[in-house]
Chain A
């Protein structure tokens, strides 16, 4: 197992387009998190899955954002009608339910032009 994997690593899109990111967690991890990190800031929580259930969403997650984790395996994060303010690094993390201490992927850098 090579850890948490995210795809793509970089994405440049035009304002108004839709984008989708994928996260493959560590295989036995049942908890999955999405965070957003802007330049010079720490990551901010977006949403949390336990297995396939989305149990918490941040108020940062507007209705243009949707996340899924079918069958409790990989997860996707979709942003519809992208805006320049969506430009950021999107980080995925996973952990075991027995305790915290998430392992992060390398992130997807989104640039909206």
Chain B
């Protein structure tokens, strides 16, 4: 079974600064995907970024980028130029197998302060 661990229950950052959220995972599968989802107070989960495990190049989406270390089973999210709207719960998730169901971590509550 897959496990996803987010060791930082809460983090805070000043507006315009950079913050990194940590995630480690465990799997015996070779083909899988990793995701970061954002869940603002309105509660809808929004896909932020995804990484295919077979790709060495780290994924980037505007201000969001990941540091994917496959051997270490680490998948951190870097948010640059933090904005107030980035305040949310962030979930790291693993997806794979024949059904691509997602296994989530417990989340990191990120607060961006003005």
Q: A48 CA to B100 CA in the complex, in Å?
A: 9
Q: A48 CA to B102 CA in the complex, in Å?
A: 11
> Quick one: closest B residue to A104, CB to CB?
B45
Q: A82 CA to B33 CA in the complex, in Å?
A: 35
Q: How many residues of B contact A (CB 8 A)?
A: 24
Residues on the B chain within 8 Å of A28, using CB:
none
Interface of B is mostly: strand
Segment at the interface with B among A17-25, A37-45, A67-75: A37-45
Interchain CB contact under 8 A, A43 and B106: no
Interchain CB contact under 8 A, B35 and A101: yes
Question: Which chain A residues (92-111) contact chain B, with CB distance < 8 Å?
Answer: 93, 95, 99-107, 109
Q: A99-B33, A101-B50 are in contact. Are A42 and B104 (CB under 8 A)?
A: yes
Q: A104 CA to B107 CA in the complex, in Å?
A: 16
Q: A66 CA to B106 CA in the complex, in Å?
A: 26
Q: A33 CA to B103 CA in the complex, in Å?
A: 12
Q: A50 CA to B98 CA in the complex, in Å?
A: 11
Interchain CB contact under 8 A, A55 and B99: yes
Interchain CB contact under 8 A, A56 and B35: no
Interchain CB contact under 8 A, A102 and B102: yes
Question: Which chain B residues (1-30) contact chain A, with CB distance < 8 Å?
Answer: 4
Residue B62 CB within 8 A of the other chain: no
Within 8 Å by CB of A104, from B33, B44, B50, lies: B44
Residues on the B chain within 8 Å of A48, using CB:
99, 101
Interchain CB contact under 8 A, B102 and A107: no
Q: A42-B104, A42-B107, A101-B50 are in contact. Are A106 and B33 (CB under 8 A)?
A: no
Question: Which chain B residues (88-114) contact chain A, with CB distance < 8 Å?
Answer: 91, 93, 95-96, 99-107
Q: Which A residues fall within an 8 A CB radius of B?
A: 31, 33, 35, 40-45, 48, 50, 55-56, 89, 91, 93, 95, 99-107, 109
